[in-house]
Every structure is written in structure tokens, then in C-alpha cells.
Chain A
């Protein structure tokens, strides 16, 4: 049973460029959440998708946008990249059948902006 799959694993972009990160949730999960994690810090919530709609959003600018597809997979898009966007981007999936929202995380995408 595959867990959460994220791609790519590493990415280097230039300031001002745009990037798209991808996530396939664990089989049976219908909700995808995206987090940004700076080195040695806890993950910061970006947004959450369920039924192809953004349901909740953290304190991130509109440069961060996302999408969820009918097969529950998801994309995170970041426009006009800044040096400060360099971080590990984590995708977590869960199911609405789990009352306590146990998350399964992917290994993340390490984004470096130069």
C-alpha cells in the first residue's frame, strides 16, 4: 500500500520564477494538506484541500495556490519565488473517516531558491 508520494524530491529555482509541486495521497485518503517547513522548525500550515476545494488556509500570501484533482492528488503552486520560500514542502493526506485526522506525510520536496 503506497503512502504519500511527492515529486520532485529536490528542486532549484531562480528568484522570480514559478514552481509546481505534486502530491499523490495515500490510498483511501481524500484530504490533502500542504505544509512549509524551515530547517529545524515545525511545519507551517499552508492550506488544505477536500472535494477539490480549498477548505482552510494558513497565513501565506496569494502567491501560494493549489489544486486538487478528482483522483484526490494535489498540486502546490508558488509564483514569484523569493529567497525566503526555500524550505521543505510537505504534503499530508488524511481521511474524513478518521475522526482524529491522523496525517500521513510524504517525504517532502526540498525547494531551494537562488
Chain B
């Protein structure tokens, strides 16, 4: 059973469109992180959210942590081909230093 469920699993959109990726769990996380991974590379940290209801913006990317700290979303405005990649959410439970990753969302932005 996957602790963190991401949806959609695959997403293919045209340049300029908006999109939202979801990360859901039945567990409460002390913090949640979003990573982006390109082929042949390791994941790169985009953001960490720690407070329920927290919203963080990184240029065209908006990240939100659910009020109950069980879910998160990533919204991309006016997607560009450079946004193409595997988007991963990862959560830490309680004081554990172990990060549990979701199954990922493969995003393709077509020019």
C-alpha cells in the first residue's frame, strides 16, 4: 500500500496551460516536500511545507499543504516545456528522518 498517492500519474499538456498535481495520504506529516526529477538525474528539492494550510510560491509554481497536513498540491501556471519532468512529493512522519515518496506524476509539456 502506497503511503502517499499522487494523481494524475501521467499528464501531457500544451505550453501555456495550467495544471495541478495532487498528493494525498491518510497519514499526518510533520513536513512535506516536492521534488522534480529529470531523466538520468536525481530528484531536486523544490520546496518544503511544514504548517497546515501553508502556501508557498516559486515563480509559476504554487504549493499548498492541507490544513490537516495529510495532503498537498502543486499548481503550475502557464506551463513551459522546461517544466517537463517527474514530480514527486515526499513526507516525513513525526520525528522520523526518513522521507517517504509518492509514486510520482510524469509531466510532459508540449511546445
Contact = CB atoms under 8 A, between A and B. Distances in A.
Interface residues of A, number: 28
B82 interface: no
Interface of B: 4, 6, 31, 33, 35, 40-45, 48, 50, 86, 88, 90, 92, 96-104, 106
Interface stretch (A11-19, A60-68, A70-78, A104-112): A104-112
Nearest to B47: A102
B3 to A, nearest CB: 10
Contacts of A42: 4, 6, 88, 90, 101-104
Interface of A: 4, 31, 33, 35, 40-45, 48, 50, 55-56, 58, 90, 92, 94, 96, 100-108
Interface SS majority for chain B: strand
24 contacts: A31-B97, A40-B104, A42-B88, A42-B101, A42-B104, A43-B43, A43-B88, A43-B101, A45-B98, A48-B97, A48-B98, A50-B97, A56-B98, A92-B42, A94-B97, A96-B97, A100-B48, A101-B92, A102-B45, A103-B33, A103-B45, A105-B43, A106-B42, A107-B42
A6 to B, nearest CB: 8
Going nearest first, the 4 A-B pairs with the smallest beta carbon separation are A105-B42, A42-B101, A100-B31, A42-B104
A103 B99 contact: yes
B41 A100 contact: no
Contacts of B44: 105
